[in-house]
Structures are given as C-alpha cells and as structure tokens.
Amino acid sequence: MAVTRSNLPGLLRAYLFLGGFILIGAAAVYTAHLIHRLNEQSRALSELFAEFCAITTFPAMESPELREVFERVIKPANFPMILTDREGRPFVWRGVDVQYADTIDVRTVASIDPKNPPPGPIRELIEDVHRFDRRNVPVPIRRPGEKMVFGYVHYGEPGIVRQLRWIPLVQLLALVAFIGLGYIGYRSIKTSEQRSIWIGLAKETAHQLGTPISSMLGWVEVLKERHEVQSAPGGAVEIPAAFFREVVDEMENDGERLQKVAMRFGQVGSLPRLEPQDLAPIVSEAIRYFRRRLPNLRKDIEIRERYELVPPVNVNRELIEWVVENVLKNAIDATDTKRGVIEVELARRRETECVEVRITDQGRGMTPREVRNVFSPGFTTKQRGWGLGLTLAKRIVEDYHGGKIWVDRSQPGKGTTFIISFPV
C-alpha cells in the first residue's frame, strides 16, 4: 500500500501503538530473564543450604553446642525443607504448608510404613517429599568420613521464587489489558472524532450554501415585489434596465458561489488535481468575497493586502481559496470591536524556499491552550460554529498540498497571525 499524506497520521498512531507494544514486550522478556536468574541463584543457595544441613546433621546430634548453631541456622530458612531417614520417614521439617505438622510425634513417625502412610499430616509430609524430589534431587545425609547414607534432605523452592513465577503471567495479562484498553480508547476517540467531523461537515455545508441561497431568495423577492407593482392597477411603471442587470449579475454571482461550494465539498475525501498557479489572484478573490460581505456583518474592518512577486506553486484553486476564506473568516470573527484591521501578505521565504500567506488580525487572540487545539475537530472559541473550518483547512494544506499551516503568533487581546506555507 502506498503511503500518502492523507493516511500518514493513522500510520503514525499505528507505529506508536506498535512501539509501545514492543517496549512492553521487551520489558516482559527482560523481567522473565531476571526471574530466571533469580531462580537459578535461589536454587544454588537452596542446594548449598541443603548440603550444609546434610553435613551438619550428625555432628549437631552429638554436640549440644553445634545443635544450637544448627537450630539457629535452620529455623530462619526461607524455603521448605524436610529431612528423612533412608526409608523416607520425615523427622525434621521447616517451611511446609502441612496443617498440624507441629503436633506429629517423632516416635509415631518411626513406626509408620513410608510407602503406605496413614491419612493425616504425616502422609501430607511424605507427599511433599515426593513433590520436592520431582523438582530437586535430594541431598544424602552421611556421617563425616563414612559413605553410608543415613537419610536425605528434601527441599523445595523458596516462597519468593514461587511468587516471582507469577510475574511474567501478570505482565502478560497487563499487556493484554493495555492492548485492549488502548484499542478501545483508540476506537472511542476515532469514533468521536469521526462523529464530530461528520456533524461539523454537515453544518459547514449548510453554512456555506446558506449565504448564496439566502441572497438568491432575496433577489427573487425583489423581483416579485417589482412584478406586483407593475401588475397593480395604475402600477405600470417602467423599470430601469440597470436594475435588472444588477439583479441578474448578483444572481449569477450567487449561482457561481453555489457551484464553487459544490465543487469544494465534492473534492473532500479524494485527491484533488493540482496545477501550477499564482497564489495572488486566489488570495485576492477570497478577500473580495469577504469585502462584499462585511457590510452585512456590521463590522467596520479594513483588509489590507500586500503582494510580492512569487513563483507559481502546485495548488487546487477552489480548495486553497476555501482555506484562505476559512482563515479570513476566523480573523473577522475574532475582531470583537466594530472597527479593526486585517493584514494579508503574500511573500516568498527564500530561506525555506516556500511561498507564504500571512494573515494577521487585531482580534481577541488565543491562549496557549487554545493555540494547541485550534486545528482539532470540534474545537471552537465562538458561541456559534462547529469548529471544522480550520480542521478542513489544515487537512487541505498539509495532506493534499504538502504544505503547512500554523499559528505563528497569538496573544489574548492583541490578535493572531496565521501562516499558510506552500513549497515552491
């Protein structure tokens, strides 16, 4: 699939999500490696401790002083351990989860058959012995200097190792939960964004079509009134041809405007045709459109223009005119006072080899937070509007024309400057 500017944001989000997944997976693998090393170290310490118990068992039985040391060392052992005789009868144990193990009488243990122990705590101890032996080889107990085996030390894993074994599973579940919540959140944001875009697009369409349609209906009413005057008794009055010429011209302008709006929205979602064009007439036409509308807005706003000689750039005329109109409309709406100045400058920036349209107003300005969100779908600082004009402008400029649009300067109470840049 070819990567275009229109699907680049989605690809970036996918790559970020994949990157997060890889990082968490790598962390889980590294943690599992550390746990494996801890297991090996714990196993080595357990074996060493079992060897110590096997070597010191007989000396501790014969020496009261050594027996005290033996008890002090073996009691705090942090892993389960059972000492048995050669037949498998347990006579010392530590750290086992056997209920009532402390009540077992050693003489009772000596009288049982280890291959067929009676039900109760002794059988549970012997079952633990078999379980330990399946994981770790028992350490034989010998009298110092003799080869004869008198018993065995059976040992299991420390409790901390058993707990650590669950960490990879917990991390895996956390990873799955992260992916699930991330996907749900992404889909929710995407759905909300699409809903906002479609609602805003519908409202923007109605707004764009409303002005020329209202104008045409107004001229129709004027013609109807003149017709009624002529049709009334004694109302045969000659109507100047200049009046009808004016009406026809205005209706033609409104019809062209409707056609232009239809062409603009018809190109949303498809790749527009770009041609090398001079931006000056496009910007001038957008300004002329708003100059004609300013009296109806009841604002005394002066739009100053300054054009430098710039090279042609590859643009779609209808869409770029739409962009300039959206930014100009934003500047006009931002002018709360009845009198204001909007400056429009077209220039070439040789250091970046770009042609820039700079639109500066003296309106209410924006806070840093508003600047960060000004191009987000549905964001608006006005009481009326759906916050889609600048969103569409950004998509048209950046995704369709490979340019950039940004807020160069904005300060509450001191106005805002937008820059629209196109590569030469």
Q: Are residues 285 and 150 in the same domain?
A: no
Residue 159 CB neighbours (<10 A): 13
Residue 187 lies in a domain: no
Give me the pLDDT at residue 1, please.
38
Give the CATH number of the domain where residue 301 resides.
3.30.565.10
Q: Which of the listed residues 114, 132, 164 is the one where a domain comes to its end? A: 164
Give me the pLDDT at residue 379, please.
66
Give me the pLDDT at residue 152, please.
86
Residue 320 tokens read as 């770029």
Give me the pLDDT at residue 58, please.
63
Q: How many domains, the chain?
A: 2
Residue 2 lies in a domain: no
Q: Which of the listed residues 164, 189, 224 is the one where a domain comes to its end? A: 164
Q: Is the pTM of this model over 0.75?
A: no
Residue 231 lies in a domain: no
Q: Are residues 12 and 160 in the same domain?
A: yes
Q: What is the pLDDT along the chain (424 residues), one digit of tens a residue?
A: 334 444 445 566 667 667 767 877 787 778 777 777 776 776 677 667 767 766 776 666 666 766 666 666 666 666 788 888 888 888 878 778 777 667 777 778 888 888 888 888 888 888 999 988 888 888 888 777 778 888 888 888 776 666 776 777 777 787 778 778 877 877 777 666 666 665 566 566 666 666 677 667 777 777 767 665 555 555 555 556 676 677 777 777 777 767 676 666 666 656 778 899 999 999 998 898 888 777 766 778 889 999 999 999 999 888 898 899 889 988 988 887 767 899 999 999 888 889 999 999 988 888 998 888 888 776 666 655 556 778 888 988 998 899 999 999 998 988 999 999 999 8
Give the CATH number of the domain where residue 58 resides.
3.30.450
Q: Are residues 27 and 152 in the same domain?
A: yes
Q: Are residues 142 and 284 in the same domain?
A: no
Give me the pLDDT at residue 170, please.
79
Amino acid letter, 254? D
Cα separation, 422 vs 402, in Å, equals 7
Residue 210 lies in a domain: no
Give me the pLDDT at residue 188, please.
75
Q: First vs last Cα of the chain: how many Å apart? A: 28
Q: What phi, psi does 422 have (nearest 5°)?
A: -125, 135
Residue 396 lies in a domain: yes
Q: Which of the listed residues 108, 130, 164 is the one where a domain comes to its end? A: 164
Cα separation, 380 vs 364, in Å, equals 14
Q: Are residues 15 and 154 in the same domain?
A: yes
Q: Are residues 13 and 159 in the same domain?
A: yes
DSSP letter for each residue of 183-217: HHHHHHHHHHHHHHHHHHHHHHHHHHHHHHHHHHH
Its domain, for residue 367, covers: 273-423
Q: Are residues 18 and 160 in the same domain?
A: yes
Residue 216 lies in a domain: no
Q: Are residues 19 and 159 in the same domain?
A: yes
Residue 254 lies in a domain: no
Residue 148 lies in a domain: yes
Cα separation, 270 vs 288, in Å, equals 28
Give me the pLDDT at residue 408, please.
93
Q: Are residues 284 and 159 in the same domain?
A: no
Q: Are residues 152 and 290 in the same domain?
A: no
Q: Are residues 13 and 149 in the same domain?
A: yes
Residue 400 has what DSSP assignment?
Answer: I
Q: Are residues 414 and 291 in the same domain?
A: yes
Residue 318 tokens read as 């209808």
